[in-house]
Amino acid sequence: MKSLGIDLGGHFLKGALVEEGAIAKRQKISTPRGRDPEEIVAAISAMIQKLDAEGSAVSVGIGFPGMLDRTRETVLQAPNFPLLENYPFRTRTQETCRRKVLIENDANCAALGELACGGARGLSDFIMLTLGTGIGGGIVSGGHLFTGAHGKAGEMGHVPVGEEALCACGAPGHAEALFGADALKKAFAEAGIKGGIPDLWLRRGEPGVTKVWDLALDALARAIAAAVHILDPQAVILGGGLSRSSGLLETLRPLVLRHTAPPFRETLDLRLSLLGDDAALIGAAGLGKTIRMT
Ligand SMILES: [Zn+2]
């Protein structure tokens, strides 16, 4: 059975034709600059045509970087796509593509991808964190995606960690206001430190650089510890671009343990994603057959 997965990101729009959990064909373009809803829908529609002109895919799943309503029809909040808020994104895409379309939060898609054929294979209860522009989160409980009473569960990037930095969501002190590419770029710029994030990770032994990373990593560790205490997962899986920073797991683990109660320390299983950037694509492609747990 073939299906299509779309991963809408702030910088790139990616798509894949997926067959039995494997990517058969893929496409990647820059996200339309104006981020106008109609332009985005048109770009997704064109990508679908390129990936599957003959219409062999049974459904299209879209991973979206923002909070969605319970019915997965509209976008509630998306700092990178403010024009899509309250826009009937799923219906408009379905009408334009003339295919069955489903949307889901992108980190939830990554969790489903890892569950189907990645680092969470065989697990029933785990947390997925995507470390990119911000921090995305997904929860799988009892083998199903857990979305909460209103569809917004799993937003671990918005866990308050005791600082006052303003988050892109508008509230102060959230973890992704300190950890994530956007927050780090801002913190390094304010400290007068130049360089890209991968380079600054390698230079994290330098005094000024260490200070910024320490604060950011502590925020991430606190968010992970909070989620672990609430959900008692079998594993915490880290994906997204920043998760590929060499030695991140080794650096992060003692910080998480520091904020963790002893019984939880023994069961902490912090892992890296096995599918990388393909997790959200594969998870999105499988949305047509996913049963959501609320
Ligand atoms: Zn927030």
**165 Cα–ligand 1 center, Å:** 10
**278 Cα–ligand 1 center, Å:** 25
**160 Cα–ligand 1 center, Å:** 8
**18 Cα–ligand 1 center, Å:** 33
Residue 162, pLDDT score: 84
**52 Cα–ligand 1 center, Å:** 37
In terms of Cβ atoms closer than 10 Å to its own Cβ (0-12, 13-18, 19+), residue 254 is: exposed
**156 Cα–ligand 1 center, Å:** 9
**182 Cα–ligand 1 center, Å:** 13
Write the CATH number for 196. 3.30.420.40
- On whether the CB atoms of residues 165 and 153 are closer than 8 A, the answer is no
User: In this structure, are 132 and 205 located in the same domain?
Assistant: yes
209, two tokens: 């650089």
Whether residue 164 is predicted with pLDDT greater than 80 in this model: the reply is yes
pTM: 0.95
Where does the pLDDT of residue 163 fall: very low under 50, low under 70, confident under 90, or very high at 90 and above?
A: confident
Domains identified in the chain, total number? 2
Which protein residues have their CB within 5 A of the ion that is ligand 1? 158, 167, 169, 174
* Domain that includes residue 284, residue range: 2-109+278-293
Residue 21, pLDDT score: 87
Q: How much of the chain exceeds pLDDT 90, in percent? A: 94
User: In this structure, are 93 and 216 located in the same domain?
Assistant: no
Q: Between 294 and 44, where is the model more confident?
A: 44
**177 Cα–ligand 1 center, Å:** 7
pLDDT digit string, tens, across residues 246-272 = 999 999 999 999 999 999 999 999 999
- CA-to-CA distance for 17 and 97, rounded, in angstroms? 15
User: In this structure, are 127 and 255 located in the same domain?
Assistant: yes
Where does the pLDDT of residue 294 fall: very low under 50, low under 70, confident under 90, or very high at 90 and above?
A: very low
**157 Cα–ligand 1 center, Å:** 7
Q: Is 115 a domain residue?
A: no
Q: How far is CA 137 from CA 18, 53, 57, 77, 116, in A?
A: 23, 33, 28, 15, 17
Residue 290, pLDDT score: 63
**229 Cα–ligand 1 center, Å:** 20
Give the residue from 90, 23, 20 showing the smallest Cα distance to 52: 23
Give the residue from 250, 247, 246, 268 showing the smallest Cα distance to 259: 268
User: In this structure, are 54 and 163 located in the same domain?
Assistant: no
User: In this structure, are 104 and 148 located in the same domain?
Assistant: no
Half-sphere exposure of 269 (CA within 13 A, CB side): 13
- 122 CA to centre of own chain: 21
Q: How much of the chain exceeds pLDDT 70, in percent? A: 98
- CA-to-CA distance for 197 and 241, rounded, in angstroms? 10
**26 Cα–ligand 1 center, Å:** 32
- CA-to-CA distance for 145 and 105, rounded, in angstroms? 11
User: In this structure, are 161 and 262 located in the same domain?
Assistant: yes
Q: At 230, which helix (H) or strand (E)?
A: helix 207-231
Pairing of strands 22-30, 60-64: unpaired
**Strand, coil or helix: 281:** helix
- CA-to-CA distance for 131 and 79, rounded, in angstroms? 16
User: In this structure, are 100 and 215 located in the same domain?
Assistant: no
